[in-house]
Amino acid sequence: MVAYKFRMDTGYAGNLSREPAPGDITPENLDPTADWASYGFGMPYKYTSAGLATPLVGSETASEIMGLLVRSYPGRAVSYTGDSAYPQIGANGTDGARRGYMTVMLHGSATPVKGGAVYVRVANAGTGEVIGGIEGAADGDDTIVLPAGRFEGNAGSDGLVEISFNLQ
């Protein structure tokens, strides 16, 4: 019998970790004026007044989050270096998930627990923290709760963790 000493790889940030149901994934057009070079897959987005998906920039409320950026396979990323893949802006757009299970990069120092609430940083980014980053604990008014978001387990040594969420 084979003994597995290590945890199975979680995947990549923005991967849908379980089969999506109809309506979970929507095509989105990205705001070409936004700085996507510092915003990656598996991170939440909101809409501009023109209906374009744009990164969180700070001071958002939970009701403004419209989805999480899905990493498409084989991909439409400009680059991928560990946890710094970001979507390519083009006429084809990218996919967003409004509900389901997704692998995301964990930011901040808190250790998430299975069933624990998922937090999104909306102010005062610090070391290991980014605006729009997924975190495992509340940090006063600097984080908001991702609606119906739950951690599905602990983060791996690579900082990736599975979450479930429902923004519909």
The residues, ordered by sequence, that sit 6+ positions from 122 with a Cβ below 8 Å of its Cβ are: 56, 58, 59, 60, 131, 132, 142, 143, 144
* Residuewise pLDDT in 10s, the chain (168 residues): 676 666 667 788 888 988 888 889 999 999 988 888 788 889 999 999 999 999 999 999 999 999 999 987 655 444 545 555 566 655 557 899 999 999 999 999 999 999 999 999 999 999 999 999 999 999 999 999 999 999 999 999 889 999 999 998
Q: What is the distance between the alpha carbons of residues 25 and 130, in angstroms, rounded to a whole number?
A: 25
Q: What is the pLDDT of residue 71?
A: 85
Q: Tell me the pTM.
A: 0.87
Q: What is the pLDDT of residue 74?
A: 57
Q: What is the pLDDT of residue 73?
A: 67
Question: How does DSSP assign 58-117, residue by residue?
Answer: SS--GGG--EEEEPPSS--BS--SSS---BPPSTT-EEEESEEEEEEEEESSPPP-TTPE
Cα angle: 107, vertex 110, 116; to 5 degrees: 100
**Residue 36 CB: number of other CB atoms within 10 A?**
21
- DSSP letter (8 states) at residue 137: S
Q: What is the pLDDT of residue 68?
A: 97
**Residue 154 Ramachandran class (φ > 0 left, ψ -120 to 50 alpha, else beta):** beta
**Residue 115 Ramachandran class (φ > 0 left, ψ -120 to 50 alpha, else beta):** left
